[in-house]
Structure 1
Amino acid sequence: MAEVQLLGVPVLVHNGKPLSESLVIIEYIDETWENYPILPQQAYEKALARFWSNFIDDKILPAIAKAAWTVNKEEREKGTEEVLQALQFLENELKNKFFGGENIGIVDIAACYLAFWLPTLEEAIGLKFLTGGKFPKLHKWSQEFINHPIVKEILPPREGFSAYYKTRYAALSAAK
């Protein structure tokens, strides 16, 4: 399992030097190309942005994986509850158009999975986490994020991923 996870680790090679892990790469980009800041400039806001980015990576994404891909029904339900609780924390944190204020910042980038990939997963396997009824601010944020001209330009088509999720879920269901 660890080998599979390692294969999915993003790597940035800049000036012949590799860096891995999404959040590390984002911070490196922020420090290297200063024209378009990704992290807030004030120390406290920067620390909060790092906290929420890590919260997404360390709490929300593993809970989604547990809810979506665990065979054991009780564990799936536990994962679903963890997702909903974590999303509520994130919902309460969202105060502006984006987590970074009026501009996309590191927390928005870290939460890209929630805006783009999660709806595809939800559709493919019949789960519903990020609905407008449960999380109106996050739902609105996700629409603003994926429809931002820069983000929209670089997102891949969802169709292939939906088919992948459906196939993976069918295999998981058959293994029960």
Structure 2
Amino acid sequence: MASEKGVTLLDVWVSPFGQRARIALAEKGVDYEYKEENLADKSPLLLKYNPIHKKIPVLIHDGKSVCESLFMVQYIDEVWSDKHPILPSDPYARAQARFWADFVDKKVYESGTKLWKLKGEGQEEAKKEMIESLKLLEAELGEKKYFGGETFGFVDIAFVPFTSWFYTFETSADFKVEEVAPKLVAWTKRCMERESVAKTLYDPLKVYEFVGILKKRFGIE
């Protein structure tokens, strides 16, 4: 096993991207130091280790940084390869997993952000995009326990943090995830039975309160 010396995660509690890294580290049993960032007053450590984007999350391992959450999860999987494989070993299955993880970023995250930021036609369009995305993800899940089959893996880790935001999406745009994609809700419950997920994700109501603060800050409400 690679050295765990100097494993630090720079993050913000509510970030679904940082939560990906936290879940992956927990699945691997890696001890690490967690540093909560104040994005209104970014720490010298954050500016040093992510000078390009100056964003969280940032994984620091033995003085070297890895940025962007999906790259981070892949790095964690490769470095601590002796426990709980996250990405499939089969090249095609691995490519498919990366595709759907990227889909989550491009579709779920982007349309979800529009749901609570926009009103009127813009929000309605985002709602249609979200519902379509959830249905496509549900079709990909099918009857499997997890997206990778019996193994909790890359797509699960990429997507499950956003389930804490479902209540915010639903309340903002007046729809129910369970009505449009019931299998995803059942999958969420299975994921929450895992200690790595249950200890990482926050109460949806707390996330909703946080979004309310953001709305006031941006002058949305």
Q: What TM-score do you get using the length of structure 1 for normalisation? A: 0.84
The aligned runs of 1:1-176 (5 Å cut-off) are 6=53, 8-34=55-81, 35-71=83-119, 73-95=120-142, 96-119=144-167, 121-122=168-169, 125=172, 127-131=174-178, 133-169=179-215, 172-174=219-221
Q: Compute the RMSD of aligned alpha carbons.
A: 2.3
Q: Does the C-alpha gap of structure 1 residues 64 and 154 become closer, same or farther in structure 2, counting only changes over 3 Å?
A: closer
Distance in 2 (alpha carbons) for counterparts of 1:154 and 1:173 = 29
Q: Which amino acid aligns with 2:116?
A: A
- Give the 3-state SS of the residue equivalent to 2:177 in structure 1: coil
Kept in 2: contact 1:125–1:166 (CA 8 A): no
Distance in 2 (alpha carbons) for counterparts of 1:129 and 1:123 = 6
Distance in 2 (alpha carbons) for counterparts of 1:153 and 1:164 = 19
5+ residue gaps, structure 1: none
- Offset of residue 158 of structure 1: 4.5
| Percent of aligned pairs sharing the same letter | 32
Distance in 1 (alpha carbons) for counterparts of 2:110 and 2:170 = 19
Residue matched to 2:17: none
5+ residue gaps, structure 2: 1-38, 41-52
Q: Which amino acid aligns with 1:80?
A: K
- Give the 3-state SS of the residue equivalent to 1:100 in structure 2: coil
More helix by share: 1
- Give the 3-state SS of the residue equivalent to 2:180 in structure 1: coil
The higher relative CO (CA closer than 8 Å, separation ≥ 6) is in 2
Distance in 1 (alpha carbons) for counterparts of 2:195 and 2:146 = 14
Kept in 2: contact 1:84–1:129 (CA 8 A): no
- Give the 3-state SS of the residue equivalent to 2:149 in structure 1: coil
- Give the 3-state SS of the residue equivalent to 2:199 in structure 1: helix
- Give the 3-state SS of the residue equivalent to 1:51 in structure 2: helix
Kept in 1: contact 2:87–2:94 (CA 8 A): yes
* Runs of 4+ more than 6 Å apart: none
Larger displacement relative to structure 2 (56-65 or 38-47): 56-65
Larger displacement relative to structure 2 (162-171 or 8-17): 162-171
For residues 121-157 of structure 1, the C-alpha deviation after alignment (integer angstroms, 9 at most, x for no partner) is 14664643422x2111111111111232231123344
Distance in 2 (alpha carbons) for counterparts of 1:123 and 1:80 = 9
